[in-house]
Amino acid sequence: MYYSTLCFYITIYILCILINLLLKSNKKLSVFYLSLLLAIAFGLRDYVGNDYEQYVNIYNHINIFNDYDKIELGYFYLNKLSYYIFGEQGYYFLFFICSFLTYYFIFSIAYENNILTTSISLVFFSGFVFFSNNAIRQALVISIFIYNLKNLEKNHYKYLIITILSSTLIHFSALLFLVLFLFPKKKKIPTIFLCILIPFIFTMYQLDIVNLIIKKIIIYIPKYGELYYNRVIEFESKEKGSGLVIIFYYILLIYLIFNRSKIKTQYSNIFIIGYILFLLAPQVEMWERIMIPFYYTNILFIPLIIKNTKKKYSPNKMLGYVFIILLSFLFIYQTIENKNKNGISPFNHLFLKQIGIVLK
């Protein structure tokens, strides 16, 4: 059990809350220092995350062996810049920069909506910090996606398209965000339809339908088809079932369906449709990676529901806080038992490594 790793995460979380409280009068400065703290704490991690070693290998092949260019152009030149400044261990700087930008975008949109405190909690307890420590490039793209929902709301389509296309320089999956233009903007999806859809989605999840479809079409997907082909074909669903986490996901979905009037229609449609698609197959790696951005929009939408519920002790407001508390228990369990699929425990840090401290 990784209790010292949990202590590290909790310490960083408490420091985030303290920074937010101490800089309450200057939220912009708070956003900067929060992002800097998490970039130092998580960007300078040492071999934490399932994909960490792969990122280091890519860095070495780009800069030392000069035999790798099968990666997005923006990320390629970030690798080159990091090597130019810091040499062979410049990947620490690369991860630091990616982490800083990831959290800066998320905390900026939270600040603009006056929900920074609850969003900080959800950055941790939703598991986004775990995901960011593993899927570095996609986490950055997801944070840009969440931040740019405001451009969609304001009908600034030109800026939204430019941002999406620019994000593909970091991770090709950013193109998927073009589906934002397909979501209904003013018309709410009927509640009765969504309630009927839920058992249908759960049935498809149980029957593993998405996994079967992906195995048929994976090889035809540009760029990532070859990369994921063997992993998908050999994949067997090991996490499928009706366990507590899946039940919790569905309860959260129902809560959001019945409280969507508290947030803008366009926002609620994005979250609910995306979240339903995510729940079709959260146990399938490729599908989860595609749909996970919609799950992490809860960093923005749950705090907005809590904030926009006017009555201080409203059951809906209290239930929102209950969800955050339940997520915190899941966060603690996953950290101690290393049950999160991103490979989060034990947590090793560059600075702690230098002074001989190993977290367990």
pLDDT of residue 15: 96
Gap between the Cα atoms of 265 and 90, Å rounded: 44
pLDDT value, residue 184: 66
Q: Which token pair is 165?
A: 């296309």
- Residue 350 has a pLDDT of 82
What does the pLDDT read at residue 231? Answer: 52
Question: If phi over 0 gives left and psi between -120 and 50 gives alpha, with beta otherwise, what is residue 87?
Answer: left
Burial 293-320 (b: 16+ CB within 10 A, else e): bbbbbbbbbbbbbbbbbeeeeeeebebb
**What's the pLDDT at 237?**
45
The residue with tokens 């809560």 is: 255
pLDDT of residue 208: 79
Q: What does the pLDDT read at residue 222?
A: 58
Residue identified by tokens 């995306």 is 274
pLDDT of residue 226: 56
Question: How far apart, in whole angstroms, are the C-alpha atoms of residue 215 and residue 233?
Answer: 6
Q: Give the pLDDT of residue 238.
A: 45
Per residue in 154-186, is it b (16+ CB within 10 Å) or e — as a string?
eeeeeebeebbeebbbbbbbbebbeebeebeee
- The pTM score is 0.89
pLDDT at position 338, please?
A: 84
Supply the pLDDT for residue 41.
94
CB-CB contact of 77 with 63 (8 Å)? no
Taking the chain (360 residues) in runs of 10, the rounded mean pLDDT of each run is 88 95 87 96 90 90 81 89 90 95 95 92 94 92 89 78 88 81 73 86 83 70 56 46 72 86 79 85 78 88 88 83 91 87 82 72
| Residue type present at position 5 | T
Domain boundaries, the chain: 1-176+338-360, 183-308
Q: Is the dihedral of CA 59, 64, 67, 72 positive or negative?
A: positive
CA distance linking residue 206 with residue 113, whole number of Å = 37
Beta bridge partners of 45: 349
